[in-house]
Structure 1
């Protein structure tokens, strides 16, 4: 119809090529102007602030994957290093324990050698194998027997003092009854005063000095040594130390002692030989008087 404008769909503006050149010129002008006057700096900073959350959100998945891979790789490495360190620590602890045990064993052996030198009889070193299976007695088994000339009644000591006495002998082993066994008795004397008595095993690692009158001169701290009256225990071997003295219960004093030796805990011991009697001196016959 006359007087009506054509619909927008049929309107035609500038040609596409013209539009392209227009926008190219505008962009170049803006670049030149920004290069000289930097008027778009504020716009760029504003856009960077506005777009920063979008950039972070876009980079989060990749960063998460990268950090997760690094975390698991580091975790595996740390776990491997921890296993190696634990293995090394266990090996070092084992070597340290073995070295400590060897040092203690060397100390005990040097003590046994010193004890052997102090005693005037022959002795043989033996290792304690295990405790006897009788729960009502205090006995141990050592690795020397009749093949090593061990006999019943021989005294057994460690580097500190008397441990017990050989009570049964087998071909390659022997049974030693410890001082603390209730069936064991040792004649002793008080080193300070010379008072004689007999020490009996009291069980639970303790001893009793029995049958001394309540007024006997015995005090806590006194050391007891073998008296040698029985002919089996050499005189002067350390046996026990007085712990307490009770004089109020009865006519005899109740004297509790503790062994000076490592009774029940010694790993190496000395089995003492029997003392040889002194040879009798030959008295030359008197000359027959002449008539």
Structure 2
């Protein structure tokens, strides 16, 4: 009579299995240490286990990197903002050094010359560009609440950026010097020649109304002359990059590039307006008389045309 099969089939004893695996492990260790026989197998296993290990370490590594990243970003942003503001607050003095060096020899010969007025201003941030694609204008975060008025010059750490043209309660619009409607009186540092630079609307400037034989060379530095009463004298504006001299024309075409980061920087400095210089009484009366005479002559020349029958 057959016996029923057991419910559980017993295998080798646990002690025997433990001894077998220990002996196999020791044998593999000895063979690998003596002959490096398992190096290929180890590399193959590592190829499959490496992604699993990376995935297991990813949460902890992500949290560690995220904490370090945000701490570093916050520290760098604070440091960058502090350095930017410190640089822009001192830019008014730094930018005039080149022009002052060029004038030292001449100013030493003049006794009793009035010193240049110290300029000051406030740092503003560029929010966005104007909506008009054909205009070179930007909007800053300073307005009437910050006592910003139209006409104030705007600079960065490299030179003249533009001029405030429209002011709102909390914002202001700045027209860049590369705009077609913007003109800045300048002076060539090397020769002292005075002229006016105009924006071309394409990121470049043009030095106009100079004869073809004018002493202007590629690389010449142009600074504000201050003759317009708006931009303080001695601030870098542009550098000459190309000259077209044709004897068939009365004036040369002189192209320049702005020194300031008119299309790059996010922070600028709005300079305080220059004080109005009062004219002597005699000169003021002469100017008023000239204006009245010009207005009278203009009114006389505007005559109505007779209607045709």
Query: Equivalents in 2 of 1:244, 1:98: separation in Å?
Result: 44
Query: 5+ unaligned residues in a row in structure 1: which ranges?
Result: 1-68, 282-291
The residue number in structure 1 matching 2:160 is 162
- C-alpha change, 1:266 and 1:72, in structure 2 (3 Å) is closer
The equivalent residue for 1:112 is 88
Distance 1:143 1:176 in 2: 11
Structure 2 residues without counterparts, runs of 5 or longer:
1-44, 95-116, 281-309
Residues 257-272 of structure 1: matches in 2 within 5 Å?
Answer: 257-272=256-271
Match of 1:192 among 190, 193, 197: 190
Please point out which of 194, 199, 202 is paired with 1:201: 199
Would you say 1:250 and 2:249 are equivalent positions? Answer: yes
Please give the per-residue CA displacement for 1:150-190, whole angstroms capped at 9, x wherever unaligned: 11111011121110000000011000000111111111111
- Are residues 203 and 103 of structure 1, via their aligned partners in 2, closer, same or farther at CA, if it must alter by over 3 Å? farther
Deviation at 1:238, TM superposition (A): 1.1
CA distance in 1, matches of 2:53, 2:72: 28
- Residue 240 of structure 1 corresponds to 238
| 1:108–1:159 CA contact under 8 A, matched in 2 | no
2:54 aligns to what? 78
TM-score normalized by structure 1?
Answer: 0.64
Do 2:89 and 2:122's aligned partners in 1 also have CA atoms closer than 8 Å?
no
Distance in 2 between residues matched to 1:71 and 1:178, nearest whole Å: 59
Counterpart CA distance in 2 for 1:180 and 1:88 is 47
Query: 1:104 offset after TM fit, Å?
Result: 4.5
CA-CA distance at 1:95 after TM superposition:
5.7
Larger Rg: 1
**Equivalent pair of 2:221/2:239 in contact (CA under 8 Å):** yes
Q: Partners in 2 of 1:146 and 1:168 — Cα distance?
A: 10
Residue of 221, 224, 233 corresponding to 1:223:
221
The worse-fitting range, judged by mean Cα deviation, of 91-100 and 157-166 is: 91-100
Counterpart Cα distance in 2 of 1:71 and 1:277: 78
Could you tell me how far apart the structure 2 residues matched to 1:217 and 1:164 are? 27
Cα drift, residue 272 of structure 1: 1.1
